[in-house]
Amino acid sequence: MDAAEEHRHIAGEFTKTVEAVRSTEWNRPAPVEGWAARDVVRHLVEWLPAFLQGSTGIALDDGPSVDDDPAGAWRVHNNAVQALLDDPATASTEYDFPHIGRMTLAQAIANIYTADVFLHRWDLARATAQDETLDPDRCAQMLEGMLPLDEILRQSGQYGPRVEVPDDADVQTKLLAFIGRTP
C-alpha cells in the first residue's frame, strides 16, 4: 500500500470514530493526561500543519475551530492531507525535515503523521467508549519498528513511560503499553 492509500485507510478509520462521537462526549477525558476527546482531534489538526509550514512552506486549509466543531475540523484537515498525498508531484517532492532527514513528503507523512493518526484512534475510541480494536498487523509492524528506538522516543517527550504488561499480552496491548498508555 502506498502512502496515499495507507493514509486513506487509517484516516478513514479515525474518521469513523470521530463521526460516532456524540456532542456530549467531546469533553470526556482521553488517555493522554490533561486531554479531553476533542484534544485528540486538536493535536492531529494542529501539529502537522505547523510542521509542514515550517519544513516545506506548504499551508493546509484551515477548517472550523476544534472547540466549535471537532468533526468538521477533522474533515477539512483530513481532506487537505489526503489531497497532498493524492497529488503525485507534491507527494514525491523531497524535503529536509528536522529530526527525520531528507525524504519525500509522502514518506514523512506516512512515517510520522499517519502512524500518529493510527495510535490516536485508540485514544479517541477509549475516551468515547467506542471499539478500541486496532489492526494487529499494523500494531506488530509499528512495535517492531519502535522497539529499537525506545530511548530516542522517550527523550522526544512524545511518549509516556513504558507500562509493564504480561509477556503473553496481545500485540495491541504491547504497543499501547510501549507508548505509555494503560490498555
pLDDT value of position 153? 83
- For the record, the C-alpha cell of 83 comes out as 489531497
Mean of all residue pLDDT scores within the chain: 95
Residue 3 pLDDT more than 80?
Answer: yes
52/127 Cα distance (integer angstroms): 28
Lowest mean pLDDT among 43-47, 88-92, 152-156: 152-156
* Residue count (the chain): 183
Residue 155 pLDDT more than 90?
Answer: no
Check whether residue 73 and residue 156 sit in a common domain: no
Identify the burial level of 168 via C-beta atoms within 10 angstroms of its C-beta, where 0-12 means exposed, 13-18 middle and 19 or more buried. exposed
Domain carrying residue 182? 134-183
80/48 Cα distance (integer angstroms): 11
Check whether residue 115 and residue 183 sit in a common domain: no
Check whether residue 41 and residue 124 sit in a common domain: yes
Total domains in the chain come to 2
Cα 28 off chain centre by: 19
pTM for the full predicted model: 0.95
Of residues 158 and 139, the one with the higher pLDDT is: 139
Segment holding 96, helix H or strand E: strand 94-97
Nearest Cα neighbor of 132 from 119, 145, 115 is: 119
117/99 Cα distance (integer angstroms): 19
- Are 25 and 127 in contact, with CB atoms under 8 Å apart? yes
32/35 Cα distance (integer angstroms): 6
Domain boundary among 117, 133, 149: 133
Cα 125 off chain centre by: 13
Check whether residue 26 and residue 100 sit in a common domain: yes
pLDDT value of position 1? 83
